[in-house]
Amino acid sequence: MAKYVLVYKGGGGMPETPEEQKQVMDAWGAWFGSLGAAVVDAGNPFGSSASVTTNGSVSDGASSGLGGYSILSADTLDGASELAKGCPILARGGSIDVYETFDVM
């Protein structure tokens, strides 16, 4: 089995009310629960960011708008993409990029 990084974009940020926050967290918990052993690393949301250019300059805020990541195991990229289809971020208007990883060290 290979490892795949799911990178989350968008999705409206954290809901404002405690009730909405609980609904979102419950949805994530249910999704991760449905994935079972495929979850290698549930990941985390991203916080503040910076962009570093080839000349060494640094600016606040990365332009990609990425919100977080998870790592799953699956037999194929298509299989990992199928697993991603159940992610709650999609219901909130977000999207997911799926990347296969490989060991080099």
pLDDT, the chain, mean = 93
| Residue 73 within a domain | yes
**What was the pLDDT predicted at 98?**
98
Instruction: Tell me the mean pLDDT in the region 66-74.
Output: 96
Does the structure show a pLDDT above 90 at 2? yes
In a domain, residue 59? The reply is no
52 within a domain of the structure (yes/no):
no
pLDDT of residue 39: 97
pLDDT score at 59 = 92
Split into its structural domains, the chain has a count of 1
Q: What are φ and ψ of residue 2, in 5° steps?
A: -95, 165
* DSSP per residue, 13-79: -S-SSHHHHHHHHHHHHHHHHHHGGGEEEEEEE----EEE-TT--EEES-TT-EEEEEEEEESSHHH
* Rounded-to-integer distance, Cα 92 and Cα 82, Å: 18
Q: What is the pTM of this model?
A: 0.89
Task: Write down the pLDDT at residue 11.
Answer: 85
The pLDDT, as a whole number, for residue 64 is 84
The domain in which residue 9 lies consists of 2-45+65-100
Residue 11: count other Cβ atoms within 10 Å of its Cβ: 20
Q: Is residue 71 part of a domain?
A: yes
CATH code at position 22: 3.30.70.1060
Q: Give the model's pLDDT for residue 13.
A: 74
What is the structure's pLDDT at 105? 81
- Predicted confidence (pLDDT) per residue in 16-41, tens digit: 899 999 999 999 999 999 999 999 99
Both tokens of residue 16? 């404002």
Closest CA to 88 of 3, 4, 8, 18: 8
Asked if residue 57 belongs to a domain, the reply is no
